[in-house]
């Protein structure tokens, strides 16, 4: 097992600290029982720097992407692997041949934001116009790829949304410094079917978006690209003179209608749907003015924007004021009326005091949240003192199959939540599988990994085809 490093920089301390080795382990021990119907891989990525020249100035987002994965089949955890994405610079530093076709090294980086599956292939995604990379089943890098690539230089971004009814992948892609974004639609093989260019004056940071049956929902806020801050690794600033607004565009393309909202930054979308002439958009919203280079400086909470398309107005309400991020939903309900949402609770711990201090660094806590948006209640599943958990992914029960285009499953929370959880007693991570319907009960299974998995960003359950 590996112990977290201690550093004055929180992103190099506690459970943010990067790991230094790639590990392969087979036949992992399990406490409890893995549901027999699960067959596939749980994959999650995040920044994991190969080396840090100036620890005091290091930022979390600067780390090269590393994917952590567990392969499950027949009630067994067959393997765990962690692998750096072999961008050109990573391959060079590891003394390995470069993978795939040559790329422009000015825009080449090991993606570190999202890992997803499409048409039997595995992709690691980033944003800002940087290239996606393709991985093999065992997480070895195949090379950079053209998923969602358009002639204008945009491509699929980190928060692309797959619509299970139309079998389309939607991306809202931005490029650093560009005054335009593109809404890109590919089919379920990754072939681009259409792209709509949208004016984005001032180069706003459009990290996420939402999808409904007939609309694409955009977030234009006061966080904008700044060329002067490129050297910091987070080339964005908060422009207090810039308003925040929500844009609504037909999915097929066309004019965007803009609606003013309170100044804020949308971290991530939980879900959105249509009801009559209203659009309901549920987001985790960061308040105005926080330091965007410091994940521990904000207190994001779950909000609802109800966009009245007939009246041209937006109503805002706070659905849950607990500090939280990384919201997820049963993907079968993407863009549809829904009841349940899930998120990671965020707690501001003091940084570890020194070697042996089990406290995690600021930014995450030991709990997942389940929101019942019909009853207006929230449950918390806590994993124990000094544990740390990030994003949880919802996995439906039963065979993966092709989701019905007519109607989603009747029981929206009939499934599991999967997440990596740091176990401070072992100094290593577990892949925890919870029943979504018995959310506060004992986990169904804890797959014990041999190493620590640093706190990371996003991932998915990718079922075997």
* pLDDT, tens digit (0-9, with 9 covering 90-100), for 104-121: 877 789 999 999 999 999
Q: What pLDDT is attached to residue 235?
A: 80
Does the predicted model carry a pTM greater than 0.85? Answer: yes
> What is the tens place of the pLDDT at every residue in 314-328?
999 999 999 999 999
Quick one: average pLDDT of 438-454? 97
Residues, the chain, total? Answer: 465
Task: Say what the pLDDT of residue 74 is.
Answer: 96
The residue ranking higher by pLDDT, 7 or 114, is: 114
Alpha-carbon distances of 167 from 6, 85, 348, 403, 460, rounded to whole Å: 46, 27, 40, 9, 17
Rg (CA), the chain: 21
Q: Which fold has domain 10-463?
A: Neuraminidase (2.120.10)
> Mean pLDDT across the stretch 51-69?
88
Tell me: pLDDT of 144 over 50.
yes
CA dist list (Å): 68 to 5, 40, 78, 81, 424:
19, 14, 14, 6, 19
What is the C-alpha to C-alpha distance for residues 237 and 286, in angstroms, rounded to an integer?
Answer: 14
Does 237 score more than 80 pLDDT?
A: yes
pLDDT attached to residue 465: 83
pLDDT of residue 399: 59
Average pLDDT for residues 8-24, to the nearest whole number?
A: 88
At 406 the pLDDT is: 45
> Mean pLDDT across the stretch 302-307?
98
pLDDT at res. 358: 52
pLDDT given for residue 333 in this prediction = 96
Q: What is the mean pLDDT of the chain?
A: 90
Mean pLDDT of 247-259: 96
Average pLDDT over residues 360-371: 77
The string of pLDDT tens digits covering residues 177-203 is 899 999 999 999 999 999 999 999 999
**CA pair distance 154, 161, nearest whole angstrom:** 16
Contact 58, 49 (CB under 8 A): yes
Q: How confident is the model at residue 401 (pLDDT cuts 50, 70, 90)?
A: very low
Q: Where are the domains of the chain?
A: 10-463
Q: What does the DSSP assignment read for 184-229?
A: EEE-TTS-EEEEEEEE-TT-B-----EE-SSEEEEEE-SEEE-GGG
Phi (first) and psi of residue 428, to 5 degrees = -145, 175
Confidence category of residue 95, pLDDT binned at 50, 70, 90: very high
Most confident of 3-17, 282-296, 394-408: 282-296
Residue 351 has pLDDT above 60, yes or no: no
pLDDT value at 94 more than 50: yes
**Mean pLDDT computed over 256-280:** 95
Q: What is the mean pLDDT of residues 234-243?
A: 87
Average pLDDT over residues 301-305: 97
For residue 441, the tally of other CB atoms under 10 A from its CB is: 10
pLDDT-based confidence at residue 13 (cuts at 50, 70, 90)? confident
């Amino acid at each position: 097992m590996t112990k977290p490093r201690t550093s004055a920089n929180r992103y190099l301390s506690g459970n943010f600290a990067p790991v230094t080795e790639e590990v392969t382990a087979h036949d992992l021990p399990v406490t409890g029982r893995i549901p027999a119907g699960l067959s596939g891989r749980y994959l999650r990525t995040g920044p994991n720097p190969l080396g840090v020249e100036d620890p005091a100035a290091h930022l979390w987002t600067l780390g090269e992407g590393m994917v952590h994965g567990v392969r499950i089949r027949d009630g067994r955890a067959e393997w765990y692997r962690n692998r750096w994405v072999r961008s050109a610079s990573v391959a060079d530093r590891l003394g390995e041949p470069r993978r795939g076709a040559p790329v422009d090294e000015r825009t080449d980086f090991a993606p570190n934001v999202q890992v997803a599956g499409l048409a039997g292939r595995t992709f690691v995604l980033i944003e800002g116009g940087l290239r996606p990379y393709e991985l093999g089943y065992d997480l070895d890098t195949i090379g950079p790829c053209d998923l969602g690539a358009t002639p204008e230089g945009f491509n699929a971004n980190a928060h692309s949304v797959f619509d299970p009814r139309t079998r389309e992948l939607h991306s809202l892609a931005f490029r650093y410094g560009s005054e335009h974004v593109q809404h890109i639609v590919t089919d379920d093989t990754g072939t681009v079917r259409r792209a709509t260019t949208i004016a984005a004056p001032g180069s706003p940071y459009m990290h996420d978006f939402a999808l409904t049956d007939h609309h694409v929902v955009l977030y234009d806020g006061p966080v904008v690209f700044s060329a002067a801050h490129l050297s910091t690794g987070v080339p964005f600033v908060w422009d207090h003179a810039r308003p925040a607004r929500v844009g609504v565009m037909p999915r097929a393309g066309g004019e965007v209608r803009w609606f003013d909202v309170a100044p804020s930054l949308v971290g991530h979308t939980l879900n959105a749907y249509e009801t009559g002439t209203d659009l309901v958009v549920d987001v985790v919203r960061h308040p105005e003015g926080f330091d965007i280079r410091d994940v521990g400086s904000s207190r994001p909470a779950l909000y609802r924007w109800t966009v009245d398309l007939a009246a041209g107005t937006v109503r805002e309400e706070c659905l849950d004021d607990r500090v939280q991020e990384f919201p997820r939903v049963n993907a079968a309900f993407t863009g549809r009326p829904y009841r349940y949402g899930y998120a990671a609770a965020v707690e501001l711990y003091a940084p570890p005091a020194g070697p042996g201090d089990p406290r995690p660094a600021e930014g995450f806590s030991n709990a997942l949240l389940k929101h019942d948006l019909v009853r207006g209640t929230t449950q918390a599943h806590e994993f124990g003192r000094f544990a740390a958990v990030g994003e949880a992914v919802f996995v439906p029960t039963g065979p993966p199959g092709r989701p019905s285009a007519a109607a989603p499953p009747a029981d929206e929370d009939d499934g599991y939540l999967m997440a990596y959880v740091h176990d401070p007693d072992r100094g290593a991570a577990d892949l925890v599988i919870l029943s979504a319907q018995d959310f506060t009960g004992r986990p169904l299974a804890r797959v014990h990994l041999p190493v620590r998995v640093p706190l990371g960003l996003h991932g998915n359950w990718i079922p075997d085809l």
